[in-house]
Each structure stands twice: as C-alpha cells, then as structure tokens.
Structure 1
Amino acid sequence: MQQPPVPMVDIIRGPFAESAHLGHAVLCDETGEIAQAWGDPDTVILPRSSAKMLQALPLVASGAAEAFGLSTERLALSCASHEGAPVHVAAVNAWLSDLELSDNDLICGPQPSRDSALKLQMIRDGQSPCRVHNNCSGKHAGFLTLTRHLKAGPDYVDPAHPVQTSVKELFETVTGAPTPGFGIDGCSAPNFATTMHGMARAMAFYASAQTRSDTLSKAAAALTQAMIAHPLLVAGEGRACTHLMRAAKEPVAIKTGAEGFFIAILPQRRQGLALKITDGATRAADCALAAILVSLGVLDPDHPDVKRSLNPDVLNFAGLQTGEIRRAPSFP
C-alpha cells in the first residue's frame, strides 16, 4: 500500500507554523535493505543532480578516467553542481583544453555564474554567460571524456548515445531495478527515474564500495573519495553540500538535486540516504537532510554551518528576525 509523505519541515512566523513541507526519505544498509524510512520507499522519483555520481560511474568503470589521467579534482567536478565560481570555471576550462575542446563542445546551456562577485564583474564587463558557467559543466566534461574514450559521436546527451546507454545500464545495476523512464534535465541530459528505495540502495552501494574489489565498486569508491576530498568543487562557498561535508564529524559525501532532492553517502557506516521534499523546496530539503544527519550523529546541531541548513532564521527586509525554519516535531 502506498504510504503518504510525512511532515518534515515547518516554517515558523511568530507563534505560528505558517507553512509545512512533506517528504520521503530512505536510509539503506550495505545489503540494500532499508534501515529506516519516512514516507513511501516505493515512490518513483527523478533524482536530478543527486544522480551525478551515478552518471559519472561509466567514466571511471570504463577505464576512461584512467586513460585520460583524471585527477581526484576532476572526478569531484564530474559529480558537481558547482556555482560557476572562478575556481570551477578555471578547472573545467583546463579540462576542456586538455581534451582539445572548447566551451562550444559542451551541450549544457549557458548559465549565469552563481558566484556574486564573478557575476557582477561579468555584467560590468559586458560579458555573457558561457556553458562552462553552467553548474553541470563538470559532469559534461566527464561525458565528453567518456565520448572520446568510446570514440562516439558528439551528441552525448542523446538517450541512444553510447554515453547515455552506459549511464542507464550502470544506473539500473546500482539502483537494483530497471528504470521506468527518464526526464530531460536542465542541462539537457537524460535523468533516469527510480524509487526512493532504489536511490538509497545505490547510495549504500557507494558507501560500502571500498570493501569490495570489483571494477564497478572501485569506480564508485573513487568517486565517493573524490567528493569527500574536494567539497568546494562539488558545490561552492555558501552551498549546503560544501558546508555540511566540511562540518561533518565523519567522512560523508552529500549532493543536492533540483526539486528538493538530496543524497548522503556514509562510508564509515556503509549506509546511503535518499531524501525528497514533495513540493520541491530547497529550504526544506536542506533542513530535512541536516536533521537526519544530526539524528544519526554525523552532524553537530550547534555547528554554525549545520545551523544555517538545520535551523536558519527567517529575516525581513529590515533584518529583523521574524521566524525560523525547523524540522517538524515528529521528524526524524
């Protein structure tokens, strides 16, 4: 029987709960079994950018990453939703240069930088955003690397392209079930659907990958370790992924996705977490993800970088605190 989403986050103004956000979450162990669940584990979802380490899996498992000498920084970028800061732009441009490619070879669309200083400087200089500023440009540089390795054509986001058929095959392997289909993501690549349980199972596969020696597990472990080693490249200053990974009391890979999705990979516990806020609100996904990790002892609720996700103040235009965002009383 389908289970309804559960209350996860409240928005408080004065003495009132003004808004509420509901969602689903699943925590899996290394066997793929559910350790804890909130809402419906069988809900079908699009993981959006939370699936980037799954989309990068064939890049490593195929041998392409080794053949092109990809550093851990580039593996982290292949899993990133970066903010288009100078550090990200320079890194992706250098990667493209090594491939003897350019911004025009990226199929993701141009996107203004989310780094305020760079964005304002580009406006002052009359510069237009490029594809390399797109938050998915690192993933697309990985797609281009795999394309070169496979000697495939340039339309690497076509669902029938060898890059995407490789992604689909490995996506189904680690989620443990055939995908029911896909939607086209903001960066034009297919985003394959699975269930909440399937996504948590995949994250647990990554979390326990270092205990196995098969090719797929070694690839998953390499991507997980790269994300943990380079939290700034995975997102950026001011972003929840970066701040929560830095604040964690143990190694953890954290990755947001559009429309209220989040994952966490917990290698020491060999557990994987998937979270979906049903109304797609980022503010609620940040809070709910932090709340679960606090309940597990991964995050300290008093750490300032945890509080900014777990329990941020709501301010008005005069800077007066008018409320707060906080976990629902019964969650997690």
Structure 2
Amino acid sequence: MMMSSLIEETRAGLVENIHDGLICGVNDQFQTLYQVGDVEQYVYYRSAAKPIQAIPAFMTGVKEKYQLTDEEATLFTASQRGEPYHIAALESLLKKIPVAETDLHCAASLALNSEPRDEMIRNRQQKRRLYHNCAGKHLGFLAVCRELGYPLEGYWKIDHPLQQKITAILSNLAEISIDKIKVGIDGCGVPVFAIPLKNMAITYLKLACPDLIEDKEIRKAVIQITKLMNENPNIVASEHFVCSVLLRDSNIVAKGGAQGVYCFGLKKERIAFALKVLSGSEEVWPNILVSILEQIDYSNKNTIASLKELRPNIVKNDAGIEVGKVETVFSL
C-alpha cells in the first residue's frame, strides 16, 4: 500500500505520534485532482455509507407516507449519539413506522456521548437497541422492507433484496461494477462495503452535485437527503462533532465512518474528497480537513475556523499548558 504521513504530533519538539493515510480529491469529470497515497486502495465506508444506505427509504416515500418530521427522516442518515433530541426523535419515529424495536438487528446500547450516557446510568436505564448509534439507519431499512414487501427477517444479510438494492445504488453512484465491490460486516451487523478510495470520493461528488446522477429516482432521493442533512446537522452527529460542523455549511455534504474514514463534497466547487487515516483515529479529522480546505483555498473561513475550534493544532497537558503541536505534513 502506497501511503503518506498526514499528521505528526510532537511533544517538546520530539515526534510522539504519526498518522499515515490516504486522500483523494476528484472533480466533476471523475478525474483525480488531488492525491496523497494510493487512491486505488480499497477502503471500507463504515458509517460514511449512511447517506447512500438511506436512499431506498426516500425512494419509497417513507417520509411522506408516515408523516415523518425532518428530524425523524434525517435519522436514516445519522450516527446519532444519544443526546435527548436524538432519543426523542427515535422514540417518535418508532411509534410512526409499523415495526417493533425487537425487529432491529443492531445491539442494545447506551448513548455514545458521555453526558447522556452518564445520565442513563444514573437513572438506571437499561441498554436498548433504539439507543444504538445506527438505530436510525436500521429503522429506515425496516420501513423500506415493509413498503416493498420484503421480509423483515434477515434484512441485514447481503443476499436480502434490500441489501441487493443498496449494493446496486452504490454501484451506480460510485461508477464501479457490483462484482468489484467488496463486502464485510459492519459494527451494527449489516453489510459494509469497500471500494477504491477514488470511487468513494466520486460517490460524495454525486451527493454534492446530484445533476451527475443519471437515475431520476436516485437523484430525487439524494436531493432530499442532502437537504435534510444540511438543515438538521446535529441529528446526523451532535453539536461538537465534525459532521455537524461541516453540514452547517450549506455548501458541504459530509459524513464520517469508523476507523478514520471521512468523505465530503463541495457543491459550488464541484469537487469531493475521501480520506482514510490508517491508524483509525478520528481525533485528527479536524486537523486534516482544515489543511485540505486551506490548501484548496476554500472560501468559507467560518467553516475552517469552526473545525479549528474542535481540535487546535496544539497539545495541552491536564493543566491546560501547551506542551506540543499537531502538524499536518501532507501537500495536495
């Protein structure tokens, strides 16, 4: 694998951590504009696939049929973190669509964010499938199965008609044949897809620029999905997370995934990026994204400033004293 260092963390001038990785940026001709490392390397989407996995729910009109609020429908794309507004929307969504919590294949969990998780523990609340980070996605899957007459049992298996439909949509968006898509099992138990990093960037280019999508039904769903993500950024993640910060910028479509995968598209510029931090770290996302946006001279400086607030390029000790630096070491 051809890779490059993306981030070096130093303490008193000595390199303490190095985060290697891959970056690919493409234009609306599907050409590679920016490259760090091997852009043909296969990478798992993890949760960066959620906007794509949500497309069948919007193609089948679930939002309209069950009169879902924007927040409830946005959950289909989300990596929700158990904040009170997430739980309220999940509870409401579960009441509206004709499925039971026991139908969810994801594991019972507590909230991901520390404050709501601690509150759940103090209140002696039990783990629930509804609290899982991917519960919104799974509720969307089940709603589609109900609408299309697919069996609920086994909706998480790759040979299920729902997963076959999702695979075909991914193939369309990624400009890659189905036989070249590699499939594993994600943390929540459903199929997770791996494709070359360049093709991953192409999918986010099409999310940002849906005019590039030939299929009218997929295009219509993508327009609806990305609008909801931009209008409800905290539902997609929560206040102080990268996805929500980027999605507050109406020019950006973005979603991260576990193990260091991040994708985003820029609507006006008609370019998109996919990246993989090979250490699996998500902590360094803000530093990498700031560097990418600064190197391409991105116009919205407020977005860049918000990312810098998430993780400044300094290392502090427990007393708040500066003891080191976080340095980006790649050039596009």
Give the 3-state SS of the residue equivalent to 2:121 in structure 1. Answer: helix
Identity, % of aligned positions: 28
> Is residue 254 from structure 1 mapped to residue 251 from structure 2 by the alignment?
no
Distance 1:302 1:201, change over 3 A: closer
Aligned to 2:169: 170
Q: Which moved more, 1:300-309 or 1:89-98?
A: 300-309
Distance 1:166 1:70, change over 3 A: farther
Cα distance in 2 between the residues matched to 1:163 and 1:85: 29
Conserved in 2, the CA contact under 8 Å of 1:61 and 1:215? Answer: yes
Q: Which moved more, 1:70-79 or 1:157-166?
A: 70-79
Residues 187-202 of structure 1 mapped to structure 2, 5 A cutoff: 187-202=188-203
> Is residue 224 from structure 1 mapped to residue 222 from structure 2 by the alignment?
no
Q: Which amino acid aligns with 2:328?
A: R
Tell me how far 1:237 sits from its aligned partner. Answer: 1.9
Residues 121-200 of structure 1 mapped to structure 2, 5 A cutoff: 121-155=119-153, 156-177=155-176, 178=178, 179-200=180-201
Cα distance in 1 between the residues matched to 2:324 and 2:101: 44
> Is residue 215 from structure 1 mapped to residue 217 from structure 2 by the alignment?
yes
Q: Deviations over 1:62-98 (max 9, x none)?
A: 4444444444323321111111111111101111110
Cα distance in 2 between the residues matched to 1:260 and 1:236: 18
Aligned to 2:22: 24
Aligned to 1:84: 82
Cα distance in 1 between the residues matched to 2:299 and 2:101: 39
Tell me how far 1:310 sits from its aligned partner. Answer: 5.5
Q: Which amino acid aligns with 2:274?
A: A
Distance 1:145 1:298, change over 3 A: farther
Q: Which amino acid aligns with 2:171?
A: E
Conserved in 1, the CA contact under 8 Å of 2:240 and 2:310? Answer: no
- Structure 1: where are the runs of 5+ without partners? none
Distance 1:130 1:96, change over 3 A: same
Give the 3-state SS of the residue equivalent to 2:159 in structure 1. Answer: coil
Q: Which moved more, 1:183-192 or 1:208-217?
A: 208-217
Tell me how far 1:313 sits from its aligned partner. Answer: 3.2
- The count of corresponding residues between Structure 1 and Structure 2 is 327
Give the 3-state SS of the residue equivalent to 1:193 in structure 2. Answer: strand
Tell me how far 1:242 sits from its aligned partner. Answer: 1.1
Residues 256-271 of structure 1 mapped to structure 2, 5 A cutoff: 256-271=256-271
Computed over aligned residues only, the root mean square deviation of the Cα atoms, in angstroms, reads 2.2
Q: Deviations over 1:92-132 (max 9, x none)?
A: 11111101433322211122212333222211121122112
Distance 1:303 1:284, change over 3 A: closer
Aligned to 2:115: 117
Give the 3-state SS of the residue equivalent to 2:164 in structure 1. Answer: helix
Q: Which moved more, 1:33-42 or 1:319-328?
A: 319-328
Q: Which amino acid aligns with 1:6?
A: S
Aligned to 1:311: 312
What TM-score, normalized to structure 2?
0.91
Aligned to 1:288: 288
Q: Which moved more, 1:273-282 or 1:292-301?
A: 292-301
Aligned to 1:240: 242
- Structure 2: where are the runs of 5+ without partners? none
Residues 10-49 of structure 1 mapped to structure 2, 5 A cutoff: 10-49=8-47
